[in-house]
């Protein structure tokens, strides 16, 4: 059973900063639409305040999170302790996509390391923070971050990334607008 907590306190923020992986889940309003669950890693997550977080979103093969957030804003982020004491943290809230050029993007992107594949920032206002035991999560030893995505983005260059996004990230697998849609104009 999960235990709701008031907010992200300094101890919990430090724990979050030590985690190497987190998961993001979103879904469309339509019951026929596909639920999305994406793993994230690297130095791309920031606690902005007791009830606000953000993560750096990289160009990828899909754009489900962006499409779902544009449609309904619902998101949950989950962290699992794979090292140390067991713990699971879930952050439920309303998310927004901030693309380059959007108000607030420049201020937020300055909090993250430069990455050529950055496509947006996902900013989340939290309405529920909860922890649970994590006893069923196995223990793993961290080896290293993967560098393939950053190398791929560097190889594409800004123009190649823009072309890739216009082809692959324009809409979700259910046809919802994601990046490069009229709302981005």
Span 3-180 CATH architecture: Roll (2.30)
Question: Which residues in the chain come in under a pLDDT of 70?
Answer: 181-185
Three-state SS letters, the chain = CCEEECCCCHHHHHHHHHCCEEEEEECCCCCCCCCEEEEEECCCEEEEECCEEEEEEECCCCCHHHHHHHHCCEEEEEEECCCCCCCEEEEEEEEEEECCCCCCHHHHHCCCCCCCCEEEEEEEEEEEEEEECCCCCCCCCCCCCCCHHHHHHHHHHHHHHHHHHHHHCCECCCCCECCCCHHHC
What pLDDT was estimated at residue 2? 86
Q: What is the pTM of this model?
A: 0.94
The residue ranges of every structural domain in the chain are 3-180
What pLDDT was estimated at residue 183? 47
């Amino acid at each position: 059973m999960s235990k709701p907590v008031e907010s992200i306190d300094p101890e919990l923020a430090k724990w979050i900063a030590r985690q190497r992986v987190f998961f993001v889940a979103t879904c469309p309003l339509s019951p026929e639409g596909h639920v999305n669950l994406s793993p994230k890693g690297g130095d791309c997550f920031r606690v902005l305040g007791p009830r606000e977080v953000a993560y750096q979103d990289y160009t990828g093969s899909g754009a489900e999170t962006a499409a779902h957030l544009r449609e309904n804003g619902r998101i949950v982020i989950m962290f699992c302790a794979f090292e140390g004491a067991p713990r699971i943290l879930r952050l439920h809230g309303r998310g927004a996509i901030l693309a380059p050029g959007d108000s607030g993007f420049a201020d937020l992107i300055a909090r993250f390391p430069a990455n050529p594949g950055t496509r947006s920032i996902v900013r989340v206002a939290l309405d529920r923070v909860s922890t649970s035991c994590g006893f069923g999560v196995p223990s793993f030893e961290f080896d290293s971050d993967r560098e393939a995505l950053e190398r791929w983005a560097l190889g594409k260059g800004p123009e190649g990334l823009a072309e890739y996004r216009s082809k692959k990230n324009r809409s979700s697998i259910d046809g919802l607008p994601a990046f490069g849609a009229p709302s981005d104009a």
